[in-house]
Chain A
Amino acid sequence: MANPDLETPEFIERLRAGDRAAFALVVKHYHPRLLGAARTMLQPADAEEAVQDGWIAAHRALPKFEGRSALLTWLTRIVINQARMQLRKGGREVQFDPTEEGAADALAHRFNANGHWQEPPRAWALSGPDALLTRDELQHCLESHITAMPDNQRLALQLRDIQGLDFNDICNIMDVSASNVRVLVHRARARLFEMVDRFQETGEC
């Protein structure tokens, strides 16, 4: 989620005026998230390079940043564009529309032919000291499932559920229609729901 301290008009004004400490603070807070977004498209070393090039481009463009979107959204768009350029250099074109590959809803098998739950969700332990979602093993399991998703689902999930961007901004960044972004986010969530549900049942990833 965007850091509210870095999104105030006063802070943005400092940034646009070339305040070095302000820029360093933005790098400190947003670099890992931008790297996370770039890694959805590129190998780790290439992702580092794309984010680095993104910072250079952003630093140059900052005086023109008008604050019409959140700073994090604006930076993410710049980094995704850098990542696209890198892929293009390597002869790969990116297209994020949903495909048949990885299309099935990960929860589809839990319904019978009439569309009723045949294997309903288990009750997750949501509170208490051993709450399911706060357990370390589950964090690792979430990470590895996110890493293993198809690129377009991972990027949509990263932008929506991890960075907290608006659907409109995600459509622009990914160049995918609103309904297709929603499909991608739904499929990504269904995968993770299925994974957490299995973890609740078996305690294993």
Chain B
Amino acid sequence: MLKCQEVELRADALVDGTPLSRRERLSLNMHLLMCRHCRRYVRQLRALTAHLRHRESPTAHDDQVQAVLDCVHHSKQTTD
């Protein structure tokens, strides 16, 4: 039987959808079935990573975009 600390180290594979061997998957699932602390850990780790992924990513301001475009355009003129 896996120890909780080993589950903590392997939980990323569940969150990332990393393929696991049958044996690894079975031992993780067995542990999670029996241990509510680790179930909670995995559930909250998933929530945390999903939150990081889906936080609204800001878009650049129009003047920032313009500055980039000017710079790109300028470098094109000087090298063409």
Chain B interface mostly: helix
Q: Give A35 to B78 CA distance when docked, in angstroms.
A: 25
**C-alpha gap A192/B3 in the complex (Å):** 22
Residues of B within 8 A of A186 (CB): 9, 12
Closest to A167 in B: B16
B47 near A126: Cβ-Cβ < 8 Å: yes
Least CB distance from A195 to B in Å reads 10
Q: Which of A27, A56, A117 contacts B65 (CB 8 A)?
A: A27
- Indicate if the CB atoms of B47 and A55 lie closer than 8 Å: no
| Cβ–Cβ contact B47 & A120, under 8 A | no
- In whole angstroms, what is the CA distance A105 to B62 when docked? 42
Chain A neighbourhood of B4, CB < 8 A: 111, 115-117
A residues apposed to B, CB below 8 Å: 1, 20, 23-24, 27-29, 31-33, 52, 55-56, 59-60, 105, 107-108, 111, 114-117, 120-121, 123-124, 126, 133, 139, 142, 157, 160-162, 164, 167, 182, 185-186, 189-190, 192-193, 196-197
- Chain B contacts to A: CB under 8 angstroms: 3-6, 8-9, 12, 16, 18, 37-38, 40-41, 44-45, 47-49, 51-55, 57-60, 62, 64-65, 68-69, 71-72, 75-76
